[in-house]
Structure 1
Amino acid sequence: MHLTRFRLNTLRQGARRLLSSPQAMHAAVMGSFAAILPSDTDAPRVLWRVDRNARAEVFLYVVGPDRPDLTHLVEQAGWPTSSEPGWDTHDYAPFLSRLAKGDTWAFRLTANPVHSIRRADGEPTKRTAHVTPRHQMGWLLQRQDTSGFRVVEKPAHARRLPEGDEYELIVHDRRSAAFGKTERQTGRRNRVPLTTATFDGRLEVTDPDALRTVLTTGLGRAKAYGCGLMTLAPVA
C-alpha cells in the first residue's frame, strides 16, 4: 500500500472543476493507477480525501495498492512548470506495521454518516444521512469498537459543556450536495445525495489489525466519492 499527497492549485480552472465534482475527482484518482481498468470490478480499493485547510491550501490524499502517476493532475490542477515534485508518495507498509495497542494518534476522517430508518411498519428501510454534529459524532463513536480504536475522552475538568463535549473530537467542514449518476444495468439517470463531515480528534489503538484494515479499506459508505479515508499523525 502507498499513501500519496498532492496539493491542488486552486487558482486553476481544472482544480476548481475537480473540487466541485466528486465524480470527476474519482475518475482522476482512478486514472492514476495504470494497472486498474475501469471495467475491473475486483480491483483493490482506492481511497481518497480532499482536505481544505485554507482557500489556497487544499490537498488530495490517496491510499492505493501501487504508486500512482499523478502527471495528469499536475497538468490540470497543479504547477506543471514548477521544479518541485508534483506529489509525494510513501510506502505505507512500514507505518502500518508499527501500529501497536495503546498507541495514541491524532486522526482525520472524512465520512458519509448515514443510518437506515423505517418510517412506518411494513415499509422497507431507507438510508438517511445524519445532519447534525451530535448525530454525526455518534455515528463515528458507534463504529470505534469494531474499527480498532477508541476516541480519547476528555478529563472532566477540561469539558466546557455538561453534555456533548466528552471526547477529543470535533466535526467540521460539513457538506451536502447532490449529483447525477447513471445506473449501469438500466441506464437510468438518478439524483444521488451526498452528505459528508470531517472528523478531527485523538484516538487510542485498541486492535492494530482492525485499525490497519480501516486505514487501507476505509470506514463507512461513499468511498468512491472521497469518504472513508482515515489518516493518522503524531499527537502534538
Structure 2
Amino acid sequence: MYLSRVRVATEGLDRRKLLSLLHGDAYSNHQLLWRLFSDDPYRSFLFRQETEIEQLRLGAEPRGLPLFYVLSESRPVAVPGLLDAESKPFSPVLTTGDRLVFRLRANPTVTRKTETGRSVRHDVLMDAKTQCRQQGGDDPEDVRHRMEEAAIHWLADRSAKAGFTLESAPQVTAYRQHENKRKGAYIRFSSLDYEGVLKVTDLDLFNQTLRRGIGKSKAFGCGLMMVRRA
C-alpha cells in the first residue's frame, strides 16, 4: 500500500474541470485521481480532499486549491502538467492496545423500512432530526444534540467490527450534503468529519479497516481513516 499527497497543476485543466475541482465535485475529482492509476481497471484507492493550508515543502506556498491524500494498492504515477504525487509506502507498525489520534470523513447512513416493507437508506443526521421532531423535540439545541449523538453512535456501532474502540466521544464537524450529476441522474450523499482518539482492539481487523475504509461513498472521498500516535 502507498499513502500519497497529490497536488493539482491547474494548467492541465480546462475551465469546466477547474470549476468542478474548486466546487468540490466528488465524482469528477475521483475520475481525476483515477488518472494516477491508468493501468488499474477498477478503483483500488481511497482518498480525502483537503485544502492547501499547510507548508508542503520548503519554498512552496499554499495556493488555496484542493489537495488530496490517497491510499492505494499500487504506487500512483504522476501525470505531467496535471497531477503531482508524493508517495511513501504505507505499512504502519501497530500492536493491540495502541492509542491513535484519527481523522475520518465518512458518509453515515441508516436503513429504515417504509410502510411497504422496502428498505431505504437515510442520512443519519437527517434521520435523527426527523425522529426528534416526530417525538415532539422542537428546540434547536435538542435537535442539534440528537443529530450529533446519532453521528457518534454510528461510528461507535461499527468500531468493534473495525478493530477499535473509541476512547471518548469524537468531535464531529464539517457536515455537508453533496449533489453530483452522473449520466443524467443525480447522486446525493452527505459527509461528516470525525476527529478523536481510538484504541486498537483487533490488529487484523484494524489493518483491514485502514486499507478498505469505513462506510459508504468511498468513491466520493469518504471512508479513509488517517491516524497518528496519540
Measured against the shorter chain, the TM-score band is 0.7 to 0.9
| CA deviations over 1:40-64 (Å, ceiling 9, x no partner) | xxx4631111124759374311111
Report what 1:137 is aligned to.
152
Report what 2:177 is aligned to.
176
Report what 1:203 is aligned to.
198
Separation (CA, whole Å) in 2 of partners of 1:143 and 1:53: 31
Q: Does the CA contact (< 8 Å) of 1:44 and 1:65 recur in 2? A: no
Which of 123, 127, 150 does residue 117 from structure 2 map onto?
123
What amino acid maps onto 1:3 in structure 2?
L
What amino acid maps onto 1:142 in structure 2?
D
**Any residues of structure 2 matched to 1:81-96 within 5 Å, and which?**
86-93=84-91, 95=92
In structure 1, the gaps of 5 or more residues are: 38-42, 79-85, 154-166, 183-188
Whichever structure has more helix as a proportion of its residues is 2
Give the 3 Å change call, closer, same or farther, for CA 134–52 of structure 1 in structure 2: farther
1:233 offset after TM fit, Å?
1.3
**Structure 1 position 68 matched with structure 2 position 76:** yes
Instruction: Please tell me the root mean square deviation across aligned C-alpha atoms, in Å.
Output: 2.4
Give the secondary-structure state (helix, strand or coil) at the position aligned to 2:37. Answer: coil
Report what 1:59 is aligned to.
67
Give the 3 Å change call, closer, same or farther, for CA 57–28 of structure 1 in structure 2: closer
Separation (CA, whole Å) in 2 of partners of 1:234 and 1:50: 22
- Counting aligned pairs with the same residue, the percent is 25
In structure 2, the gaps of 5 or more residues are: 54-62, 126-146
What amino acid maps onto 1:129 in structure 2?
D
Report what 1:32 is aligned to.
36
Report what 1:149 is aligned to.
164
Which of 191, 214, 218 does residue 223 from structure 1 map onto?
218
1:128 offset after TM fit, Å?
0.5
Give the 3 Å change call, closer, same or farther, for CA 21–106 of structure 1 in structure 2: same
Q: Does the CA contact (< 8 Å) of 1:116 and 1:128 recur in 2? A: yes
| CA deviations over 1:153-187 (Å, ceiling 9, x no partner) | 2xxxxxxxxxxxxx2x10111110211223xxxxx
Number of aligned pairs?
Answer: 196
